[in-house]
């Protein structure tokens, strides 16, 4: 929606190893995602999430991902990871998200159907979850999480007043195209990657993380040149 390009924030999700956290930080990621969903191959316990989060320098945000977790479990995890943003990726209601997060910022995943015949009203969803810091846009597949699938970006509304995080099947090869296509539709846009920077399921590839962040920065520079606006230094 804004004609002035901004620096695209980057979240590397599904981290479970110290070296992957360090690689994300070195590459310039703004946030790391820690999956507290036991059925995920990238699952970490709250205690393990706390260990990994303690490696982060200032201004890199840990994000705790929950799927249909209990209120007590969310609150217990939050106590172990101070300063975390919460991401609700299941069927959580606005009231649950609000109650579980308390004063913490939180995001809600909007699972976009791959089939155009399946309706999804993102504007209504954004209204329902208006207290979220952002909506995370992911592909709706069986189970929870995008499973590395890219949904049709053309299905997104042309104008939405919320902050958004583009996810689902992003890689170093397609993230720039995603930013160019999706950013004009939202108030701001960040990007979130997991399987697209992995060597194998749950194991990140440091080179791919660096390539992904470099592709994001290249997209920012392209949009800055296109609009004749100089980006601030990262």
134 pairs with which residues across the strands?
107
Q: Is 13 a catalytic residue?
A: yes
Active-site residue, from 20, 30, 138, 220? 138
Is 138 a catalytic site residue? yes
Kindly name the residue from 13, 78, 97, 162 that is annotated as catalytic: 13
Mind telling me the catalytic residues? 13, 138
């Amino acid at each position: 929606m804004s004609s002035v390009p901004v620096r695209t924030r980057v979240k590397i999700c599904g981290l479970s190893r110290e070296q992957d956290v360090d690689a994300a930080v070195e590459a310039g990621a703004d946030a790391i995602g820690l999956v507290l969903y036991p059925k995920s191959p990238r699952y970490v316990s709250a205690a393990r999430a706390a260990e990994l989060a303690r490696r982060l320098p200032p201004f890199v945000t840990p994000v705790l991902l929950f799927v249909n977790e209990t209120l007590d479990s969310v609150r217990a995890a939050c106590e172990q990871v101070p300063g975390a943003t919460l991401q609700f990726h299941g069927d959580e209601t606005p009231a649950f998200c609000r109650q579980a997060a308390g004063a913490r910022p939180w995001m809600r995943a909007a699972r976009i159907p791959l089939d155009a015949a399946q309706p999804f009203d993102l504007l209504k969803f954004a209204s329902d979850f208006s207290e979220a810091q952002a909506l995370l846009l992911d592909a709706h597949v069986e189970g929870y999480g995008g499973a590395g699938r890219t949904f049709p970006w053309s299905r997104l509304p042309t104008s939405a007043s919320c902050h958004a995080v583009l996810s689902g099947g992003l890689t170093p090869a397609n993230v720039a195209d995603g930013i160019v296509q999706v950013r004009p539709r939202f108030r701001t846009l960040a990007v979130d990657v997991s399987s697209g920077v992995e060597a194998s399921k749950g194991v990140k590839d440091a080179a791919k993380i660096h390539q992904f962040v470099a592709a994001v920065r290249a997209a920012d520079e392209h949009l800055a040149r296109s609009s004749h606006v100089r980006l601030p230094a990262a």
